[in-house]
Amino acid sequence: MKLSPIALKVTILSHTVGGTLGFGPTQIDLTFPSTNNGKIIASSPFASTSISTSTWTRTTRLRATVEDETTDTLPTEETTTTTPLADLEQRILQDEQALAEANGVKGHESSSSIEGGGGEAAEEVEGLPWWWEFVWDLDIMKKGEPGSDCIFGDSANVLRTNIEQIYGGFDSLDACPLAEGEITDIADGTMFIGLQQYYQKYGSPYKLCFGPKSFVVISDPIQAKHILRENNNAYDKGILAEILEPIMGKGLIPADPVTWGVRRKQIIPAFHKKWLEYMVGLFGYCNVPLIASLERSAQTNNGKVEMEEKFCSVALDIIGKSVFNYDFDSVTNESPVIKAVYCALLEAEHRSMTPAPYWDLPFANQLVPRLRRFNKDLDLLNDVLNDLISRAKNTREVEDIAELENRDYANVKDPSLLRFLVDMKGADIDNKQLRDDLMTMLIAGHETTAAVLTWSLFELVRNPECLVAARAEIDRVVGDRTPTLEDIRGMKYLRMVVAESLRMYPEPPLLIRRCREEDKIPTAHGGAKDPTIIRGMDIFLSLYNIHRDEKYWPEPDKFDPLRFTRKYSNPDIPEWAGYDPARWENRLYPNESAADFAYLPFGGGARKCIGDEFATLEATVTLAMVLRRFDFEFDEDKFTDVDIMDHPMGLEHPVGMRTGATIHTRQGLHMIIKKRNMDS
Ligand code: HEM
């Protein structure tokens, strides 16, 4: 199915119409939201409207649907049609053909060309319905105040702009070219690859329209700097907040700007220097069971081991201990609580990849087995977190920030972040807020680190010369000891391995924003002139595109940790300050300033990751301990029947890529390990 106008021609009639198209960490809403949270409609001004122009006589009835592993179905007012992506595509295609036939046009090409604005689009202009202008006088269509939360009128007005541009021949208000493509380009689990191909064709920004929803894709560092840092107040987390709210509540990632402002100030001091120094020891301690488990694997089962899962376990153990002093012990154990954590993670991912937000439908939580299971797991997790919070509060010892930052962690019984947050003088210790903060850090700090470990190991095994360099450094600096903060400072190459993995596999590959007030963004090199993001517009900021752009990173697909030692600028883009290693000299990793926002491993601006140093230290300790002790090779048995040139794999290697909240391998990182021979 072609993207853009074709999809816009789908007239949605039902009152319970729904449908979201999930891509990577987000989903595109196919509903006309009538509530200000932008979800399921109650009624739409388009509902049951017959539209008189040729294009608009077409009616496609899409229903909110449920597709569950366990074949759940939900009762709806009328007939319920399953609309997973393939089905949706099929229906729209059929509709398209029916329309073409009715109009006496043969085949599918009738209206699938979609260049926006002028040019080819001029032939596409098919006119607007007679009632068009009247609709916009209705109260429900009014836009919200600039800077306030977006409401239905804002989304409707974004849609209006798109329709007027595509069907009315109006100038585009945002000046962004409309991308044309096949839905399979972005709906196969590696959406970020499809978005990269569009970027190569359209520059930054471009616009994709889907159903009544559209989003602008930003792939330029100067524009990213503007959105993330210079005019950050004009944006919120939009769709991402809607998806994550049921799981993370008002935790920092989905938090609205007001809650975020209060909580960020209180949480940031918890990541102070002394605590991080103490954490390095804890990372080593949590890696001991991993090493033991790998030793067992090396001796049995021909050394076969799935490393992605192992890294997930160790990252979970680390986050549990450091954030709320809880021993998941997941490297060696399975428990209902661990299962509940994975269930919450999977559900967050599932929601971001699901064509219909069925969890918002009335009674869905009671009727759908998947949701019943999820809610049960969430209850279990909440019980654990609430219990930990109560215990911490019962033993609260109020101190001011300076005292807390000077704690002697070696002699503190509970060094966790929760303890800090509870003990902080004047802190907001509302149970619900603390629970949301903990849950957010549990999820944000676990999978991301597991992913960077996975891709670092993958690239090191694929690039033996880099592995040799990393090992030489580990042997020289740490040997068999557990690494200290000083050791990590001394292992610059290994830190650059982590940084290079995050460049090639950014976690998450896309950042999500929604515009709260009209914003003129800078013109990008080779992109549309004077682009304007209009209020209500959803944005994907593609870290993947920026990190893999040869304008900023020569040979971007090459794994080259030493690139971070070389200065680079591009005379064709004088407005980009270039990459300069001197700008991160005393830091743990090459940050966004070192590359003038062409490298954003932890985001940038006000909503930058608070766990950046924590994660860099954790990944370096884990890699140092594992690489010192084991030899790795790919388990070729797992590669049979895998076509490495198959486009959806997105990687010229059978391991392949797949997006959830982060970039995963397709089927796991299967390796054969051996204990390393230290004599060689
Ligand atoms: C390699 C590991 C990690 C990566 C790649 C990573 C990446 C990111 C990125 C890109 C953002 C910005 C999101 C945005 O602007 O929309 C972010 C935000 C965040 N991260 Fe991380 N992260 C990592 C580890 C951690 C850890 C270990 C923690 C906590 C212990 C953490 C907690 C958070 C929180 C709370 C936010 C939201 C900050 C805010 O909105 O104020 N992250 N992370």
Residue range 161-174: average pLDDT? 85
Q: Which CATH number fits domain 261-485+607-675: 1.10.10.10, 1.10.630.10, 3.30.565.10, 3.40.50.2000?
A: 1.10.630.10
pLDDT, tens digit, for every residue of 587-599?
999 999 999 999 9
Helix (H, G, I), strand (E, B) or coil at 267: helix
Q: From 71, 136, 94, select the one nearest 10 (Cα to Cα).
A: 94
pLDDT, tens digit, for every residue of 343-387?
887 787 777 666 567 777 888 888 888 888 888 888 998 998 999
Please name the residue whose Cα sits nearest to atom 43 of ligand 1.
609
Q: What's the CA-to-centroid distance between 326 and ligand 1, angstroms?
A: 21
pLDDT, tens digit, for every residue of 3-49?
444 333 322 222 222 233 333 333 333 333 333 333 222 222 222 22
Residue range 150-161: average pLDDT? 89
**Bridge-based pairing state of the strands 538-542 and 663-665:** unpaired
Residue 185: its pLDDT value, please? Answer: 67
Residue range 536-562: average pLDDT? 96
Residue 134: its pLDDT value, please? Answer: 87
DSSP state of 23: E
Percent of the chain whose predicted confidence (pLDDT) is above 90: 47
Please name the residue whose Cα sits nearest to atom 33 of ligand 1.
609
- Sequence letter at residue 645: M
pLDDT, averaged across the chain? 79
Q: What's the CA-to-centroid distance between 436 and ligand 1, angstroms?
A: 15
Percent of the chain whose predicted confidence (pLDDT) is above 70: 77
Q: What's the CA-to-centroid distance between 200 and ligand 1, angstroms?
A: 28
Residue range 206-220: average pLDDT? 87
Q: Which atom of ligand 1 is nearest to the CA of 319?
A: 30
Confidence at 644, pLDDT banded by 50, 70, 90? low
pLDDT, tens digit, for every residue of 269-316?
999 999 999 999 999 999 999 999 999 999 987 899 999 999 999 999
Q: What's the CA-to-centroid distance between 430 and ligand 1, angstroms?
A: 23
DSSP annotation string for 650-663: -SSSTT-EEESSSE
- Evaluate whether 472 touches 516 at the Cβ level (below 8 Å): no
Q: What's the CA-to-centroid distance between 479 and ligand 1, angstroms?
A: 31
Of 85 and 447, which is predicted with more confidence? 447
Q: Which atom of ligand 1 is nearest to the CA of 264?
A: 41
**Burial class of residue 615, CB neighbours in 10 A (0-12, 13-18, 19+):** buried
Confidence at 184, pLDDT banded by 50, 70, 90? low
Query: How many helical (H) and strand (E) elements, i.e. helices and strands, does the chain have?
Result: 23, 14
Residue 47: its pLDDT value, please? Answer: 27
Please name the residue whose Cα sits nearest to atom 21 of ligand 1.
609
Of 329 and 202, which is predicted with more confidence? 202
Q: Which residues line ligand 1 (CB under 6 A)?
A: 252-253, 264, 440-441, 444-445, 448-449, 452, 502, 507, 511, 601-603, 607, 609-611, 614-615
- CATH 1.10.630.10 in the chain, residues? 261-485+607-675
Q: Which atom of ligand 1 is nearest to the CA of 251?
A: 35
Q: Which residues of 338-361 are buried (b: 16+ CB within 10 A; e: fewer)?
A: bebbebbbebbbbbbbbbbbbbbb
pTM of the model: 0.82
* Residue of 609, 616, 620 to test ligand 1 pocket, by largest number of atoms within 8 Å of CB: 609
Residue 188: its pLDDT value, please? Answer: 62
- Evaluate whether 528 touches 175 at the Cβ level (below 8 Å): yes
Helix (H, G, I), strand (E, B) or coil at 607: helix
Residue 11: its pLDDT value, please? Answer: 25
Lowest mean pLDDT of 48-57, 353-362, 503-512, name the range: 48-57
Residue range 441-453: average pLDDT? 92
Q: 641-647: list long-range contacts, CB under 8 Å, 24+ apart.
A: 647/188, 647/193
| Residue 564 phi, psi dihedral angles, 5° rounding | -75, -5
Residue 179: its pLDDT value, please? Answer: 86
Residue 522: its pLDDT value, please? Answer: 97
- Sequence letter at residue 429: I
Please name the residue whose Cα sits nearest to atom 9 of ligand 1.
602
Residue 280: its pLDDT value, please? Answer: 96
- Evaluate whether 421 touches 434 at the Cβ level (below 8 Å): yes
Residue range 405-430: average pLDDT? 83
**Tokens at 622, concatenated:** 């884990």
* Res 523 pLDDT > 80: yes
* Res 121 pLDDT > 60: no
* Res 190 pLDDT > 80: no
pLDDT, tens digit, for every residue of 59-88?
222 222 223 333 333 333 333 333 333 443
pLDDT, tens digit, for every residue of 604-633?
999 999 999 999 999 999 999 999 999 999
Distance between CA atoms of 474 and 470, rounded to whole angstroms? 6
Please name the residue whose Cα sits nearest to atom 17 of ligand 1.
609
Distance between CA atoms of 603 and 515, rounded to whole angstroms? 17
Residue 91: its pLDDT value, please? Answer: 45
Residue 114: its pLDDT value, please? Answer: 29
Q: What's the CA-to-centroid distance between 604 and ligand 1, angstroms?
A: 10
Residue 656: its pLDDT value, please? Answer: 86
Q: Where are the alpha helices (DSSP H) in 4-84?
A: 5-8
The separation between CA 17 and the C-alpha centre of its own chain, rounded to angstroms, equals: 26
Residues 6+ apart with CB under 8 A from 88: 19, 21, 62, 355
Of 22 and 221, which is predicted with more confidence? 221
